[in-house]
Structure 1
Amino acid sequence: MGNSIIKVEDLSASYRKNTVLEDISFEVEPGSLTAIVGPNGAGKSTLMKTMLDLHPLLTGNVTYFGLPFQKAKKRIGYVPQRGSVDWDFPTDALDVVTMGLYGKIGWLKRPSKKHRELAFEALKKMGMEDYANRQISQLSGGQQQRVFLARALVQQADLYFMDEPLAGVDAATERAIMATLKELNEIGKTVLVVHHDLQTVMDYFDHVLFLNRTIISHGKTNEIFTKENIAQTYGGNMRLIGGEFQHVVSTSE
């Protein structure tokens, strides 16, 4: 893949001396919208954090646009899991979004009127302009997620990482988030999403990466989103029953 925007080679990582990722190698095409899927404990969030220098890697190498993360990070946006954020921190929604511009403003400088206007426009894009002055602790989970997505959008990055942005949100917020991700995709941005709902992978993503401590398969969704890859990733037999993927226990020996 000669025009890859991300190249991961032989990555491994551990928690408390237990290896959680091993022999991870893959490349990501520019302009793709990729779901990272796998069972609980498969290392999905750890993979994302390790790629972004938020967790140490044991072995391997990751490059973006042919550069190491530290030289490419201004072109990368990140939305962490909502549960990992201290939502009691005393700040309002507009300030949270404005923080996304600090890479351009500089941490010791005050945001200008123009910067706050950009932040407000990002909030407006996510339907959150009426909550600009609301403390983030007073927002619902779905509203908090929209604010965090607005913070990523205001960075105007070329590449976005999103760790379970659809977890625990209402249907309207899920539609709003996916509409935004598809808009980013359509203008050539590259997006990687840790995703937990197998039922929506085909509808939402053009690429999928199956992960269970190592990569099971990675490629175009319409080519590799198969029951065989799902079963290999999640263990046992996974079948679509009543519109939902479920484990099927075999009674035969």
Structure 2
Amino acid sequence: MAAVLEVRDLFASYRKNAVLEDVTFEIRPGTLTAIVGPNGAGKSTLLKTLLDQHPRLSGDVSFFGSAFRKVKSRIGYVPQRGSVDWDFPTDALDVVTMGLYGKIGWLRRPGRTHKELAMRALSEMGMADYAGRQISQLSGGQQQRVFLARALAQDAELYMLDEPLAGVDAVTERVIMDTLQRLKSQGKTVMVVHHDLQTVEDYFDRVLLLNRTVVAHGTTAEAFTRERLSAAYGGMLRWLEGKSG
């Protein structure tokens, strides 16, 4: 099957500091991929660069065989929670409805059908009862569920999430992962920047191990090994003691 995402020889920097160097990989449809690497490895920058939110110095990026701007309605993105202005005066339902503006058009008001789609997405995330709640009044886990609901409402084919499990409670983590695994079972493609190495093998079927460049990419069994993690993190990790591979 054709790749959902193809990245070739991607370079990016902040000021004069290289962040991504010669990054090359492909993402196939129907996969659930963890993007893993140490702090400063360029994981969040990778997503932003792929989505034209950060300039690339060179390289080629293709979604569904086209440039991002031509197929962006087919891609759902959930940024890091810390990058969002949660004091903006809006409620949860409006936040989710905003995810539909690509289909509605920015100069048109959402209709009843759009509100129903947004409510359905909130229900999927267990947040229907909070539809009228101001987002500033929600807990961190609830805010994360609302933003994932916004992506779900788009009915995208590729979902890209930047640390959706960071700082959330155990119940929210389970809800999010159940949702992502359900998307995969429906043939959707999911990429997740993930920080908890101990849950990678339980949650993901593929791993993109990144430290400015691609250290390894493949099935979790292939890419998530002691040797490759040691190469990416610069040494053996304590949690790996006693693990095979």
Please tell me whether residue 124 in structure 1 is matched to residue 157 in structure 2: no
In 2, Cα distance between equivalents of 1:243 and 1:123: 41
Give SS of 2:77's match: strand
- Structure 1 pair 216/126, CA: closer, same or farther in 2 (3 Å)? same
Aligned partners of 1:55 and 1:240: how far apart in 2? 34
Separation in 1, partners of 2:197, 2:135: 30
1:164-200 CA distances to partner (integer Å, 9 max, x unpaired)?
A: 0000000000000000000000000000000000000
Paired residue for 1:76?
A: 75
> Is 2:160 the counterpart of 1:161?
yes
The total of aligned residue pairs comes to: 243
CA contact (8 A) 2:226 2:240 kept: no
Q: Partner letter of residue 137 of structure 1? A: S
What are the Cα deviations for residues 91-125 of structure 1, in whole angstroms up to 9, with x where unaligned?
00000000010000001100001100110110010
* CA separation of 1:243 and 1:143: change in aligned 2, threshold 3 A: farther
SS of equivalent residue, structure 1 residue 188: coil
Shift in alpha-carbon separation, 1:132–1:242, aligned structure 2, 3 A: farther
Task: Provide, for residues 204-237 of structure 1, a one-character-per-residue CA deviation record: whole Å limited to 9, x for no partner.
Answer: 0000000001110000112221000111111111
Q: How does 1:59-98 map to 2 (within 5 A)?
A: 59-98=58-97
Distance in 2 (CA, whole Å) between partners of 1:136 and 1:97 is 11
Structure 2 CA distance for aligned equivalents of residues 157 and 168 of structure 1: 25
How far did 1:60 drift? 0.3
Amino acid at match of 2:110: P
| Alignment root-mean-square deviation, CA | 1.3
Match of 1:56 in 2: 55
Partner of 1:28: 27
TM-score by length of 1: 0.94
Tell me the CA shift for residue 5 of structure 1: 1.1
- TM-score relative to the length of structure 2: 0.97
Contact 2:29–2:189 (8 Å) recurs in 1: yes
Does the C-alpha gap of structure 1 residues 168 and 242 become closer, same or farther in structure 2, counting only changes over 3 Å? farther
1:235 maps to what in 2?
Answer: 234
2:75–2:156 Cα contact (<8 Å) kept: yes
What one-letter code is carried by the residue in structure 1 that aligns with 2:151?
A: A
8 Å CA contact 1:227–1:239 kept in 2: the answer is no
Separation (CA, whole Å) in 2 of partners of 1:112 and 1:163: 30
The alignment status of 1:212 with 2:211, answered yes or no, reads yes
Runs of 4+ in 1 over 3 A off after TM superposition: 241-244
Q: CA deviation at 1:241?
A: 6.1
SS in 2 for 1:219: strand
SS in 2 for 1:13: strand
> 1:44 touches 1:194 (CA, 8 Å); kept in 2?
yes
Q: CA deviation at 1:36?
A: 0.2
Q: Which amino acid aligns with 1:20?
A: V
